[in-house]
């Protein structure tokens, strides 16, 4: 399996720290609003990476945090006149709902920054003790960037170039830094902000230290994969490396993976420009699976453009897969339970090539675009090589194959059987007859049966109306 590593700018063979296991950390969202479709890209991409590792037999320990203390959260709390944790808890719950809609599995652990302050105090103290950090007069703790020789190794930036850029950008209040490159580990509270006690001042952590500490606590000093959107390479991930490697004395993450950005109509997503969609906006118009399928139709390192036409294309593509599986299910319900013919055995052997192609695409730095192309080839194979004569065993094997590949992509292909309108009408008539005959038990049973299938009945003056729940 090869992974493109931002650290080395190369595709490298994946060698886990512990054979058969993957320890991975994915930077999660700051929770002050409903997540937007850009935030959904890393969630879907890295959930698929996790699923593929599992498909290849690895045990994956997947940690993804919620940043629940931040200027934007505090600002929103002040606007609404509530505590910051009311805002963060609300949007964590909403984010989890969106993840479930997109079939993004919950992480092994979802740590929250505010629950991990103790570990942050410890790591900051260690950095101060070892000369990697210092305390300014007002109690702010800064990381001493020049104390870490490898600074810049992830973003491939040169310290002197960085410094040149920073000198002209020095903002007021930052003059207590020894060096413009230094960044905050702990900062004093302002009036009305949440705070924690520390040896340096009552205050709160900087953003970067949160991830270094949560990763250490749940995965250990050295991890296999650290991931997030490409905007996090600098400074967030560069700073995480400086903190973790200086404090732990070990290489931090072996592989750094970054997804490219999602744009809308070829422009950067921006609230003020009016081209901004939450996941909630999109899934009110499309099946959430279409959004997931759309995200995986491009390689995760390619910029992806969101537009109505591309979503339509994704909808049609997904439909082809769902229809093939639905046809298989129909044939399966009628198929004969007999031995496979020699011909069927031969065909199944042939069909294996699509799984091989799927795996080859995913082994090549998780090329989901090519992996989906392999699923389409399997769809075509199924459509041409199954019919009313096929045996149950043969159809089941093909069903299992396409279900397994779709499952790696997080696509649910076995849709709940929808009742046909005619069948619903027939049951409603039967219920009316039962009511007329005063057989209320039967009438209620029919109502229950329909409800189970997602059909809600309403008795109105004009007669019985029904709708899909």
Count of alpha carbons within 13 angstroms of residue 29, beta-carbon side: 24
Decide if 374 contacts 409 (C-beta within 8 A).
Answer: no
Asked if 33 interacts with ligand AMP (CB under 6 A), we say no
CB of 228 to ligand AMP, least distance (A): 4
The Cβ of residue 66 has, within 10 Å, a number of other Cβ atoms equal to 23
Give me 306's structure tokens.
Answer: 């969101």
Return all residues near 396 (Cβ < 8 A) that are at least 6 apart. 332
Asked if 95 interacts with ligand AMP (CB under 6 A), we say no
- Which residues between 336 and 365 bind ligand AMP (CB under 6 A)? none
**Residue 262 binds: one of Zn ion, ligand AMP, none (C-beta under 5 to 8 A by kind):** ligand AMP
Asked if 269 interacts with ligand AMP (CB under 6 A), we say yes
User: For residues 196 and 277, which CB has a smaller minimum distance to ligand AMP in the complex?
Assistant: 277
User: For residues 38 and 180, which CB has a smaller minimum distance to ligand AMP in the complex?
Assistant: 38
Asked if 261 interacts with ligand AMP (CB under 6 A), we say yes
CB of 253 to ligand AMP, least distance (A): 15
Asked if 211 interacts with Zn ion (CB under 5 A), we say yes
User: For residues 126 and 301, which CB has a smaller minimum distance to ligand AMP in the complex?
Assistant: 301
Q: For ligand AMP, how many residues bind (rule: CB under 6 A)?
A: 15
Instruction: Choose one: 174-182, 204-212, 262-270, 429-437; the region binding Zn ion (CB under 5 A).
Output: 204-212
Q: What is the DSSP string of 306-335?
A: E-HHHHHHHHHHHHHHHHHHHHHHHHHHH-
CB of 110 to Zn ion, least distance (A): 13
Say which DSSP state 391 is in.
Answer: B
Chain center to CA of 281: 17
**Residue 39 binds: one of ligand AMP, Zn ion, none (C-beta under 5 to 8 A by kind):** ligand AMP
Decide if 148 contacts 242 (C-beta within 8 A).
Answer: yes
CB of 412 to Zn ion, least distance (A): 30
5, 6, 30, 368: residue in contact with ligand AMP (rule CB under 6 A): 30
Rounded Cα–Cα distance for residues 235 and 231 (Å):
8
Q: Which of 343, 417, 408 is nearest to 375 (CA)?
A: 408
Q: Which residue is nearest to ligand AMP (CB)?
A: 229
Classify the phi-psi angles of 454: left when phi > 0, otherwise alpha if psi is within -120 to 50, otherwise beta: left
User: For residues 233 and 382, which CB has a smaller minimum distance to Zn ion in the complex?
Assistant: 233
Q: Which of 190, 256, 191 is nearest to 228 (CA)?
A: 256
Decide if 451 contacts 443 (C-beta within 8 A).
Answer: no
**Residue 235 binds: one of Zn ion, ligand AMP, none (C-beta under 5 to 8 A by kind):** none
CB of 295 to Zn ion, least distance (A): 21
Query: Based on the number of CB atoms within 10 Å of its own CB, is 244 exposed (0-12), middle (13-18) or buried (19 or more)?
Result: buried
Return all residues near 73 (Cβ < 8 A) that are at least 6 apart. 30, 31, 32, 84, 87, 88
5, 23, 25, 42: residue in contact with ligand AMP (rule CB under 6 A): 42
| Four-point Cα dihedral 84, 89, 94, 95, nearest 10 | 90
DSSP-assigned beta bridge partners for residue 203: 188, 196
Decide if 1 contacts 13 (C-beta within 8 A).
Answer: yes
Instruction: Choose one: 27-35, 105-113, 254-262, 395-403; the region binding Zn ion (CB under 5 A).
Output: 27-35
Q: b/e map of 454-467 (b: 16 or more CB within 10 Å)?
A: ebebeeeeeeeeee
For the four alpha carbons of 12, 18, 21 and 23, in that order, the dihedral sign comes to negative
Asked if 27 interacts with ligand AMP (CB under 6 A), we say yes
**Residue 211 binds: one of Zn ion, ligand AMP, none (C-beta under 5 to 8 A by kind):** Zn ion
Give me 181's structure tokens.
Answer: 């490159």
CB of 162 to ligand AMP, least distance (A): 20
DSSP-assigned beta bridge partners for residue 304: 262
7, 22, 23, 29: residue in contact with ligand AMP (rule CB under 6 A): 29
Pattern 221-240, ligand AMP, x by CB under 6 A: -------xx-xx--------
DSSP 3-state assignment of 49? helix
Instruction: Choose one: 34-42, 161-169, 176-184, 452-460; the region binding ligand AMP (CB under 6 A).
Output: 34-42
**Residue 231 binds: one of Zn ion, ligand AMP, none (C-beta under 5 to 8 A by kind):** ligand AMP
22, 23, 24, 39: residue in contact with ligand AMP (rule CB under 6 A): 39
User: For residues 39 and 212, which CB has a smaller minimum distance to ligand AMP in the complex?
Assistant: 39
DSSP 3-state assignment of 147? helix
CB of 264 to ligand AMP, least distance (A): 9
Asked if 27 interacts with Zn ion (CB under 5 A), we say yes
**Residue 445 parent element (H or E):** helix 440-452
- Which residues between 96 and 135 bind Zn ion (CB under 5 A)? none
- Which residues between 286 and 325 bind ligand AMP (CB under 6 A)? none
Query: Interface with ligand AMP by CB under 6 A: which residues?
Result: 27, 29-30, 38-39, 41-42, 228-229, 231-232, 259, 261-262, 269
Binding footprint of Zn ion on the chain (CB under 5 A):
27, 211
């Amino acid at each position: 399996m090869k992974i493109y590593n931002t650290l080395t700018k190369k595709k490298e063979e994946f060698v886990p720290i512990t054979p058969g296991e993957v320890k991975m950390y994915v930077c999660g969202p700051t929770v002050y609003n409903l997540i937007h479709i850009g935030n959904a890209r890393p969630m879907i991409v890295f959930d698929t990476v996790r699923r593929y590792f599992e498909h290849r037999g690895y045990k994956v320990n997947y940690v993804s945090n919620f940043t629940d203390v931040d200027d934007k959260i505090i600002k929103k709390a002040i606007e609404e006149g509530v505590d910051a944790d009311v805002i963060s808890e609300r949007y964590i719950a909403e984010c989890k709902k969106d993840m479930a809609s997109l079939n993004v599995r919950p992480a092994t652990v979802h740590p929250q920054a505010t629950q991990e302050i103790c570990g942050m105090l410890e790591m900051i103290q260690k950095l101060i003790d070892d000369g990697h950090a210092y305390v300014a007069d007002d109690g702010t703790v800064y990381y001493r960037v020049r104390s870490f020789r490898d600074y810049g190794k992830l973003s491939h930036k040169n310290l002197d170039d960085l410094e040149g850029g920073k000198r002209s950008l020095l903002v007021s209040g930052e003059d207590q830094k020894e060096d413009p490159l230094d960044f905050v580990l702990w900062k004093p509270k302002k009036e009305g902000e949440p705070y924690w006690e520390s040896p340096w001042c009552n205050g709160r952590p900087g953003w970067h230290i949160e991830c270094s500490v949560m990763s250490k606590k749940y995965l250990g000093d050295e991890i296999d994969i650290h991931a997030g959107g490409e905007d996090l390479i600098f400074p967030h991930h560069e700073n995480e490396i400086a903190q973790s490697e200086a404090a732990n004395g070990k290489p931090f993450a072996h592989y750094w993976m970054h997804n490219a950005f999602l744009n809308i109509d070829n422009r950067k997503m921006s609230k003020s420009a009016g081209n901004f969609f939450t996941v909630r906006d999109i899934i009110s118009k499309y099946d959430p699976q279409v959004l997931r399928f759309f995200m995986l139709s491009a390689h995760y390192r390619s910029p992806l453009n969101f537009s109505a036409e591309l979503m339509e294309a994704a909808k049609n593509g997904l439909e082809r897969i769902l229809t093939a599986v639905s046809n298989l299910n129909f044939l399966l319900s009628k198929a004969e339970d007999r031995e496979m013919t020699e011909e069927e055995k031969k065909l199944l052997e042939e069909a294996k090539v699509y799984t091989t192609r799927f795996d080859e695409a995913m082994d090549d730095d998780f090329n989901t675009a090519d992996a989906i192309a392999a699923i389409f080839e399997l769809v075509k194979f199924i459509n041409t090589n199954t019919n009313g004569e096929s045996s149950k065993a043969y159809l089941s094997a093909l069903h299992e194959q396409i279900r397994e590949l779709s499952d790696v992509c997080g696509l649910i292909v076995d849709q709940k059987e929808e009742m046909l309108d005619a069948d619903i009408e027939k049951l409603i008539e039967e219920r009316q007859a039962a009511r007329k005959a005063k057989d209320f038990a039967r009438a209620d049973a029919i109502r229950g049966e329909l409800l189970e299938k997602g059909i809600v009945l309403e008795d109105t003056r004009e007669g019985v109306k029904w709708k899909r729940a």
